[in-house]
Amino acid sequence: MTATLTSRRYPVSDLADAIELCFDKGWSDGLPVVPPTEARVRATLDAAGLPPDRQIAYIAHRNVPVTAEKAAINAVLAGCKPEYFPVVVAAVEAIGDPKWAYHGPGTSTAGAGVLTIVNGPIARELDINSGDNLFGPGWRANLTIGRALRLIMRNVCGSRPGTLDRGTLGHPGKLAYVIAENEPDSPWTPLHVERGYAATQSTVTVLAAEAPHQFYNQLSSTAEGVLTTLADDMRISGNVMGQPQYAVILAGEHTRTIANDGGQKADIRKFLFEHTHNSHAHLKRTQRMAGALQPGDETRMRPLVESPDDILVVAAGGRAGAFSAYIPGWGSKRASQSVTKEIRRP
């Protein structure tokens, strides 16, 4: 017997009325949505092989269970194709993980987005963009998967701007913030394999994150040259008082320069960790650290993150152009950690 959908029904006269109803009910992120009819919701659930009442995450700080039905409704609202839904489910599982610590990134004035990095065969199957215009428009999968996750946070978990979500500025990644690693062109081990998964498995990695910070280096033909520019930019990026993690997104030209010089992901992490320390004196002079200057502050150093492993290195972005990016994580110390979950399909 087909499981019953329990969400409330609303009668409407036509598509335009349905869209306006969603605006009136506060279910939209400010853009028009796709009305979640029963047929669309059931097709979405079927694509993940989930019954409507299956709990896929529990947001402890909100005392909110996220059921498959509620997640599917929001995936439809976002414009997801049914086949995208397993990716959405895995991302919801990840933000429900205690390591991600939903309450902080979901409410903080720092206004974190949910950077979602897709790895494995599903990225190619669903045409999740890993190349040109990486964080920009043009790919339905990237934008609707990210939008679905944010709508679930809004409509199920209660993270609405101006109420629970108190972001002072926010950033465009809070609408949708999904990329894939460019595994076919990458010379390096994929992120999910570094994290213990097989190359044949598909995963999402979520990081509570600021917007991308782009940097430029067209002069260097060595790994050290490119990474020196990157490290200098990261070191003085503003939020240098102990972000829990950073993501470093290296696009085609920089990836080739570093790899041709023998650089591997472990070398990148080590170099960036060692070259992004700030002296206590600098941090105090720039009003990032409290207290008066003390003897020894010029040589007493503070690292950007606790260890090299707190820097996630991802090969993605266009093949041309000497631009890459780093993305600071939200919070300080171990406030929120990136989480990787397998994408499961029936």
Based on the fold, state whether residues 174 and 39 are members of the same structural domain: yes
Q: Evaluate if residue 242 carries a pLDDT over 70.
A: no
Mean predicted confidence (pLDDT) in 32-49: 98
* Distance between CA atoms of residues 261 and 44, nearest Å: 46
Based on the fold, state whether residues 314 and 343 are members of the same structural domain: no
With a CB cutoff of 8 Å and minimum separation 6, the contacts of 63 are none
Containing domain of residue 235, as a range?
212-328
Mean predicted confidence (pLDDT) in 117-146: 98
Q: What is the pLDDT of residue 294?
A: 95
Q: What is the pLDDT of residue 222?
A: 98
Mean predicted confidence (pLDDT) in 115-125: 98
* 7 part of a folded domain: no
* Distance between CA atoms of residues 134 and 212, nearest Å: 11
* Distance between CA atoms of residues 146 and 332, nearest Å: 24
Based on the fold, state whether residues 161 and 229 are members of the same structural domain: no
Share of the chain above pLDDT 90, in %: 91
Based on the fold, state whether residues 203 and 115 are members of the same structural domain: yes
The count of domains in the chain is 2
Based on the fold, state whether residues 82 and 191 are members of the same structural domain: yes
Q: Tell me the HSE value of 334 on the side-chain side, using a 13 A CA sphere.
A: 4
Based on the fold, state whether residues 236 and 259 are members of the same structural domain: yes
* 53 part of a folded domain: yes
pTM for this entry? 0.96
* Tokens (6 digits) for 106: 């979901």
Based on the fold, state whether residues 63 and 126 are members of the same structural domain: yes
Element (H, E) at 312: strand 311-315
Least-confidence region, from 39-43, 76-80, 234-238, 334-338: 234-238
Based on the fold, state whether residues 166 and 28 are members of the same structural domain: yes
